[in-house]
Amino acid sequence: MWAVQYHRCGGPEVLRVEDVPAPRLREGQVLVRTLASAVSRIDVMYRRGRLPHGLFPKQTGFDAVGQVVDSRTEAIVPGTWVAVVLGLEPLRSRGTTVELLAVEPSRCGLFPHGYTPRVEDCALVLGGLTALRALRDGVRIRPGERMLVVGAGGPVGLAAIQMARACGAGVDAVAGRAALHSCLTLGAAEAWDHRGTEMSELRASQRYDALVVAAGKPSEWLPAVRRGGRAAITDGGAWPGSIPTALRTGVRSVPVAAGHGSEELTWLARRIARGDLVPVVGRRYGPDGVARAHAELGAGGTCGARIIDHRQTRIL
């Protein structure tokens, strides 16, 4: 089978599409023929050597959508379509940008029977899970509240806008220029360019009940929240530096991680299938374009997810 993997840490050029043996299915696992995966900052951190993993070669990719083709568990039968998030795996080398993935049911969400996922649905898997955690566990959003999403143009932010609207909250967004239209289409009342001149006024506004920070410096944005309000920070590494500002402004601020809960993934898969959540794909690549996707991540102009379409393999 094909797999995108690397034999040493480094820049995007270390990523290669290679022919590898299919994974051996262990008791309790399912074998998934993948349809698509996404490129996230976690993949970049692994590739740069900032996150521990098992022996090289290390495969890339953290989430996927695909169909179960073999099963050694009663939990999931062959033929089921699943959404997968691996979670951090310091002792393993597997990734999701591969043809076949052996994975535990605890890391799979089930699409409803009769729904065949599309490649673009993968835009909502890791980003959707992170947004769910940010809204449900982080800020505990309630109907009628007003929320600001900073870094709203990526997969996390665009999912957060939609989930907050579905909860009956009002949402404003701060994103790059390329994503402003999508933010408004998906339900933001107002959307600002993060490079705009009105940012200092917005940051100090104390206007919001809740805040999700998916980009930028959390400490700069906490004063946009009223005293007693809540904030969720999706970059755990940026959270400690914001604690003094959270204490000064009286905002309850917490870091959130996507995790990989199967119940949450199934919740997400159901909403994707029902069309309650709209996937936004900024750019599609084939497996031989993963290095390009890594290089382009964080380079600006983001509007939705960078998706790897696994049907586009030209090798082997």
Ligand X SMILES: NC(=O)c1ccc[n+]([C@@H]2O[C@H](COP(=O)([O-])OP(=O)(O)OC[C@H]3O[C@@H](n4cnc5c(N)ncnc54)[C@H](OP(=O)(O)O)[C@@H]3O)[C@@H](O)[C@H]2O)c1
Residue 95 or 151: the one with the smaller Cβ distance to ligand X is 151
Residue 228 or 298: the one with the smaller Cβ distance to ligand X is 298
Cα–Cα nearest to 175, from 158, 198, 200: 158
Burial bucket for residue 175 (CB in 10 Å: 0-12, 13-18, 19+): buried
The gap between the terminal CA atoms of the chain, to the nearest Å, is 8
Q: How far is the CB of 160 from ligand X (least distance, A)?
A: 9
Name, in order, each residue with C-beta under 8 angstroms of 96's C-beta and a sequence gap of 6 or more: 34, 37, 59, 61, 62, 63, 64, 84, 86
Structure tokens at 94: 């597997």
* Distance from C-alpha of 108 to C-alpha of 33, rounded to nearest angstrom: 13
Structure tokens at 309: 């379409």
Residue 3 or 281: the one with the smaller Cβ distance to ligand X is 281
Residue 139 or 150: the one with the smaller Cβ distance to ligand X is 150
Strand order from edge to edge, sheet including 2-6: 16-19, 2-6, 58-59
Q: How far is the CB of 262 from ligand X (least distance, A)?
A: 16
Residue 57 or 223: the one with the smaller Cβ distance to ligand X is 223
In this structure, how many other beta carbons lie within 10 angstroms of the beta carbon of residue 118? 14
Residue 76 or 271: the one with the smaller Cβ distance to ligand X is 271
- Classified as helix, coil or strand, 100 is strand
* Distance from C-alpha of 118 to C-alpha of 116, rounded to nearest angstrom: 7
Q: Are the beta carbons of 50 and 59 closer than 8 angstroms?
A: no
Q: How many residues are recorded in the chain?
A: 316
Burial bucket for residue 12 (CB in 10 Å: 0-12, 13-18, 19+): middle
Which residue's CB atom is positioned nearest to ligand X?
176
Q: How far is the CB of 315 from ligand X (least distance, A)?
A: 27
Q: How far is the CB of 271 from ligand X (least distance, A)?
A: 18
Residue 68 or 251: the one with the smaller Cβ distance to ligand X is 251
Q: How far is the CB of 117 from ligand X (least distance, A)?
A: 20
Q: How far is the CB of 220 from ligand X (least distance, A)?
A: 8
| Residues of the shown chain interacting with ligand X in the complex, contacts defined by CB under 6 A | 40-41, 126-127, 130, 150-151, 153-157, 174-176, 178-179, 194, 214-216, 234-236, 257-258, 298, 300-302
Q: How far is the CB of 153 from ligand X (least distance, A)?
A: 2
Q: How far is the CB of 289 from ligand X (least distance, A)?
A: 17
Residue 258 or 272: the one with the smaller Cβ distance to ligand X is 258
